[in-house]
Structures are given as C-alpha cells and as structure tokens.
C-alpha cells in the first residue's frame, strides 16, 4: 500500500463552494485516480481558508504551495504537471496586485503574512468533519486541563488574566461575566453561544464554525465547568446550513469521544449542547432577545437589570458569548492567560477576526493582533483599493457602527481607540468604500436595514429609525431642506438616549459619523441638488459629457435597456425615454463621462 506523500487542502467553506470548490474536489479525485496517484495524493476538504477573493483555493502540503482561482478545466494539467512530473503550475499562483509579483508559498502572500492566527489557527489545514484532525492539533487538551487539573474559580481567574473581552461587539470582560454567573445560586445554569451573526458584510462566525467547530464546543465546555452549567445552546441562523451541518457532526463526534455528555473525562462533570436555529432576526443578536427566542417567544429585548448572569434563559443564571469568544478559550486554558495577553494593547488583548469586504482587493477573513492600524488592515492585508480608485471611508461595526475617513486610517484597532473616532469594534465587519460611494446613500442603506430589523418594542427605535430613513430618502431624492440636518442630529440623540437595547442605542451611528466627517455631501444634496459621488439617480442628468467621452462604447455595450446610441469614433448619446437610471453606464465608464 502506497503512503500518502501529498495532501491537497481544498477550501470547503461557503465562499469557495459558491465559486465551484465542490466540483473541483470531485474533478481532482477523479484525475488523481486516473493518473494512478490515489495512494500518494489525497484531497482534503477543509473549512474556510479565509482568502475569499481568489477562491476556489488549494494549499499543497507539505510544500506550502498555494493555488488560487482554480477551475475544473485546470485539473488535468495541474495533476499531471505538479503531482506526476513535479513541476508546479505557475499560472495558478497568486499574483500580488500591486507589484504583480508571482508568489507560490502561502506564508509569503501579504494577505496571510500580516496575520497572527489564534482563533483561526486550524483554518484550511484540517478536515472540520474529522475530530481526530482537531485532536492532532492539541484539540480538547484545554478541556482536559480545565476539567481534571483546575477548579472553576481557577478557570475564571485564568480568563481574567487573559484580558479576553467579548468579541460579539460590546467588549465586556469575559472572565468577569463568568464570575458573576458562577456566584449566582441556582440548581440550573446555561451556557449560550451566539452564532446569529446578522451584520451586512460579516461572515466571521460562519467561517469559524465551518472551519473549526470543535474549538467552539471546547470553549463552551470549559465555560460550563466554570459556572457549573449542565446545558448549552448554540443559537445559529438557519441561513448557515453548512455551519450547522458541521456543528451537528462535531457534537455527535464529541459525544462519541466522551467530551460531551455524562462524566466528561471521568471528572464527574456533565454537560450537553444543543443547536437552536434562529429565523434570521437581527435583533436576536441581542442577548435577552436571543434568550426569549430559545424559549419559544417573540425575540424582543427586555430591560436590564436583572442581567442574564442572574436571570437569563428561563430565568436561570446564563452566560452568553459569541463564536469567536468561545474559540479563544481552549488555547487560553492550555497556554495560560499571560500567553494570550502577551499581544494586543493595554485594554484590548489578543487578536481580532475581521471580515473585509467592499471596495478592497483582498476580500476575506483575517485575524490580526489588537492594536493593528486600520491602514495596515486595509492596504497591507486587504491589498488596497481596486481600479486605482481612492479610499474614501471604512465602515466598522456593521449597521450599528460608523464610517471612518482617510484622515483616521492610522487609528489602531482597539475598543477605545475605535470609539474615539465615532465607530465601534462590533463583531468584526469591515466594509471598505472608495471615492464612488455616496455617504448619504450609505447612511440610508444602513438605516433601511436597522429600521427593518427593529423589533418594534420601544417607540424611540421603532418610530425614530423610520423617521430618520424618511429624511435620508428625501435628501437622496433631491427633496432635502436646510433644517433636515438639524432634525437628523436631534432625532439621533433622542434614539441613542431613549432606546431599550443596543440595536436602538447604536442605530444612529452611521448617520452621526457621516454627518461628522462628510457633512459637505449632505449639504451638496440639499443646497446644490447634486450628489458628489454621482450615485443618487434622482440628482443625475444621465447625459454623456462630450468633452470627457472617449468614444469607446463601454456604456453602450453595458446598457441593459438599449437606451444608449453609439457608433465607432462617435460620442455616445443616452435616450432618456428608455433610460431606467440603473447607473450601469456610470459604473462601466472609466472616464467619468456620464453626468
């Protein structure tokens, strides 16, 4: 029997599935068998590799060679050249967009080189559906230590020493939260994992669950031991079928190996975990709304106090942390709180996982030390802005966050520093915007989301967000009036002050931050009836500027309604009767010739 000498780690996360990795895996297996290499070369479907922009991706181990944007038709050449003849296929290597340098090894690619992996230490290098792969990477060693060598209070003290703060957005100290729950007296306690991730542009939790589900289970087991809980729930949105599938498999395997259930590892401690599928309500990311949902009630927040550590799920002491928080726990137990706190800033320890999307070259999932400047995150890791356009702003914290302009790009990723410039850390969504983005329209987009997701329980959020959205739509449509800016600021202050939960309290942030840094765009919409970014259709003429038109015909070829007339060496003309103002011509024109 031949010994496997090469493993092909093919990304099997949702992002790569969408770009064809399932068919790629099948084609690789068939071609490897056809070439007689089945005993020597093995295909492994991993979880999310992180580099979504260039999927499907594949890491060849142990060589460390990284292939990207692989198509099924590339497979015969790839297998024959690399794995039969030993000649790697250079055209499938990563090409750095700025320098055009071809880079064969994954660790040398800037996207990966600037990262420090703790939460995502297993991404792309294990099969998430095989527990033995996880154990081979020190999996469940932290559980064994916590359950057989440490007392519950020692676990909590180690968490406090680590400085780990909740990665769901609020940044509350994890050890302190656990300490409160451990001191609550009750015959029943619960551990909850928030995997409801609802921010636009956020896919951190989904990718962690798809790549390393056992890390989350292990964190929950240790948390349960710390507060003496016997039951846990993972609240995952139904729109995450792959993550749920891998979680279900991981729970089943953990039970078979004795890591879940009765008398875990002979410690006398028992704990079980169940998955609860949410319907995708954004408000259920708020801890008390999430608990009401699990109870079978409508997902609506309740006033606090009492806090969940005293009265949570079914009025019993409960701790809730998100996926990323729990994924840190086992390594903290195994290597110590001091090890975890050795990187980061004074008030924000460890690393943070971000989902970078929008107008940036390297869209994907990244993990960097706390204290990393936003500029490093966007330009060194993210690869900068595509099509030679200028950076305009970055939205941090999802719809509850704020837009940060270029002048603050050297701000460090830190809970306090990010708050100083008008945004929040949030769960880790980073949406990059280039010069073609209208900041008024961006505020409108986020407010539309928030207004739609408001549970309606409290009047300030229910009515206030609706009124703000109406004002923003009015401004974008060219009907804005001078007093609208003052009304927006007054409404925002009221909503922040009077709303019941975090959704309402942070809802005005996109409006306030864009008013703070891009007030001139609001004023241009209101006073000049112009959209500086040329994104608000109601304020555009939809005419071709003959002085700027290069007569290339790109707008003519792209128009979906045949509203543009063009002949070679002639200026294009837009027929306003046929034009539906879809902005396709504007987005395709490289010369800013559409007015």
**Residue 323 and residue 266 share a domain:** yes
Q: Is residue 420 part of a domain?
A: yes
pLDDT at 309: 95
**Does 119 fall in a domain?**
no
Residue written as token pair 């700025």? 98
Same domain, 41 and 157: no
Contact 520, 562 (CB under 8 A): no
Write down which residue in 77, 111, 145 finishes a domain. Answer: 111
Residues 313 and 462 in one domain: no
Tally of structural domains, the chain:
5
* Contact assessment for residue 290 and residue 320, using Cβ atoms and an 8 Å cutoff: yes
- Does 274 lie in the same domain as 253? yes
Tell me, yes or no, whether 578 and 496 share the same domain. Answer: no
- What's the CATH code of the domain at 385? 3.10.20.600
Same-domain pairing of 159 and 251: yes
CATH number at residue 16: 3.40.30.10
Q: What is the pLDDT of residue 209?
A: 97
Q: Is residue 122 in some structural domain?
A: no
| 87 and 56 fall within a common domain | yes
Write out 457-510 in H/E/C secondary structure. Answer: CCHHHHHHHHHHHHHHHHHHCCCCCCCHHHHHHHHHHHHHHHCCCHHHHHCCHH
Computed from CA positions of residues 271, 274, 275, 277, in that sequence, does the dihedral angle turn out positive or negative?
Answer: negative
CATH no. for residue 520? 1.20.1440.230
Q: Is residue 303 part of a domain?
A: yes
Mean pLDDT by 10-residue block, N- to C-terminus, for the chain (595 residues)? 82 95 97 94 96 96 96 97 95 81 92 95 96 97 97 98 91 96 96 91 92 98 98 95 97 98 96 95 92 95 92 97 97 97 95 96 96 96 92 91 94 93 88 95 94 91 95 96 95 93 90 96 96 89 86 89 88 87 84 83
Residue 121 resides in a domain: no
Report yes or no: 437 and 393 within 8 Å, Cβ to Cβ.
yes
Residue pair 353/212 in contact (Cβ under 8 Å)? The answer is: no
* Domain match, 522 and 549 both: no
The first and second tokens of residue 335, run together, are: 């290597």
Same-domain check for residues 521 and 446? yes
Are 521 and 563 in the same domain?
Answer: no
Q: Which two tokens stand for residue 543?
A: 């005419």
The pLDDT value given to residue 593: 85
Of 480, 507, 528, the position where a domain reaches its end is 528
For CA atoms 489, 491, 497, 499, give the dihedral sign: negative
Query: Looking at residue 541, what is its pLDDT?
Result: 80
Q: Are strands 58-61 and 6-11 parallel, antiparallel or unpaired?
A: antiparallel
For residue 196, the domain's CATH number is 3.40.50.11540
Task: Please check whether residue 535 lies inside any domain of the structure.
Answer: no
What is the rounded CA–CA span in Å between residue 356 and residue 378? Answer: 8
123 belongs to a structural domain: no
Does the residue 1 lie in any domain? no
Closest to 398 in 3D by CA, of 416, 372, 425, 438: 425
| Domain boundary, last residue among 476, 505, 528 | 528
- What distance in Å separates the CA atoms of residue 245 and residue 182, rounded to the nearest whole number? 32
Three-state DSSP string of 50-99: CCHHHCCCEEEECCCEEECCCCHHHHHHHHHHHHHCCCCCHHHCEECCCC
Kindly state the helix (H) or strand (E) to which residue 110 belongs, with its residue range: helix 110-113
CATH number for the domain spanning 584: value is: 3.30.70.20
The whole domain housing 508 covers 439-528
460 and 414 share one domain: no
Q: Looking at the structure, tell me whether residues 240 and 316 fall in a common domain.
A: yes
Residues recorded for the chain = 595
């Amino acid at each position: 029997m031949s010994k496997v000498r090469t493993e092909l780690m093919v990304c099997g996360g949702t992002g790569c599935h969408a770009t064809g990795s399932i068919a790629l895996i099948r084609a690789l297996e068939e071609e490897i068998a056809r070439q007689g290499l089945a005993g020597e070369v093995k295909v492994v479907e991993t979880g999310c590799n992180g580099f979504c922009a260039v999927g499907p991706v594949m890491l060849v181990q142990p060589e460390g060679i990284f292939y990207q944007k692989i198509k099924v038709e590339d497979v015969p050449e790839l297998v024959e050249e690399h794995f039969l003849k030993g000649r790697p296929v250079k055209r499938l290597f990563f090409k750095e967009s700025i320098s055009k340098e071809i880079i064969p090894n994954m660790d040398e690619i800037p996207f990966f080189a600037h990262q420090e992996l703790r939460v995502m230490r297993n991404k792309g290098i294990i099969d998430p559906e095989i527990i033995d792969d996880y154990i081979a990477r020190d999996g469940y060693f932290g559980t064994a230590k916590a359950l057989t060598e440490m007392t519950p209070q020692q676990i909590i003290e180690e968490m406090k020493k680590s400085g780990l703060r909740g990665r769901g957005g609020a940044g509350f100290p994890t050890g302190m939260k656990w300490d409160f729950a451990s001191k609550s007296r009750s015959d029943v306690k619960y551990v909850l994992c928030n995997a409801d991730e609802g921010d636009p542009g956020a896919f951190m939790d989904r990718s962690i669950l798809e790549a390393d589900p056992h890390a989350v289970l292990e964190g929950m087991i240790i948390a349960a031991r710390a507060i003496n809980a016997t039951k846990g729930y993972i609240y995952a949105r139904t729109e995450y079928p792959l993550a749920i599938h891998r979680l279900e498999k991981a729970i089943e395997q953990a039970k078979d190996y004795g890591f879940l259930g009765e008398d875990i590892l002979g410690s006398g401690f028992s704990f079980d975990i169940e998955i609860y599928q949410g319907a995708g309500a954004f408000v259920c990311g708020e801890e008390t709304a999430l608990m009401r949902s699990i109870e079978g009630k409508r997902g609506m927040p309740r006033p606090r106090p009492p806090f969940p550590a005293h009265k949570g799920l079914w009025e019993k002491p409960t701790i809730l942390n998100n996926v990323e928080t729990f994924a840190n726990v086992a390594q903290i137990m195994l290597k110590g709180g001091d090890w975890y706190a050795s990187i980061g800033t004074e008030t924000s320890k460890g690393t943070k996982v971000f989902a970078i999307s929008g107008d940036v070259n390297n869209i994907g999932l990244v993990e960097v030390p706390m204290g990393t400047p936003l500029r490093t995150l966007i330009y060194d890791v993210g690869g900068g802005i595509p099509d030679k356009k200028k950076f305009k702003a970055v939205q941090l914290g999802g719809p509850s966050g704020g837009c940060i302009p270029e002048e603050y790009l050297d701000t460090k990723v830190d809970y306090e520093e990010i708050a100083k410039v008008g945004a929040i850390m949030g769960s880790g969504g980073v949406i990059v915007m280039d010069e073609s983005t209208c900041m008024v329209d961006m505020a409108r987009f986020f407010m539309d989301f928030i207004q739609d997701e408001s549970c309606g329980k409290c009047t300030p959020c229910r009515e206030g967000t609706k009124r703000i959205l109406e004002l923003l739509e009015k401004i974008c449509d060219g009907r804005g009036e001078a007093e609208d800016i003052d009304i927006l600021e007054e409404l925002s202050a009221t909503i922040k002050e009077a709303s019941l939960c975090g959704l309402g309290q942070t809802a005005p942030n996109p409006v306030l931050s864009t008013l703070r840094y891009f007030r001139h765009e609001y004023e241009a919409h209101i006073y000049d009836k112009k959209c500086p970014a040329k994104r608000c259709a109601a304020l555009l003429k939809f005419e071709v500027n003959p002085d700027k038109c290069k007569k290339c015909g790109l707008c003519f070829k792209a128009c979906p309604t045949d509203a543009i007339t063009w002949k070679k060496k002639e200026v294009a003309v837009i027929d306003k009767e046929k034009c539906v103002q879809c902005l396709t011509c504007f987005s395709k024109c490289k010369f800013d010739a559409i007015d």
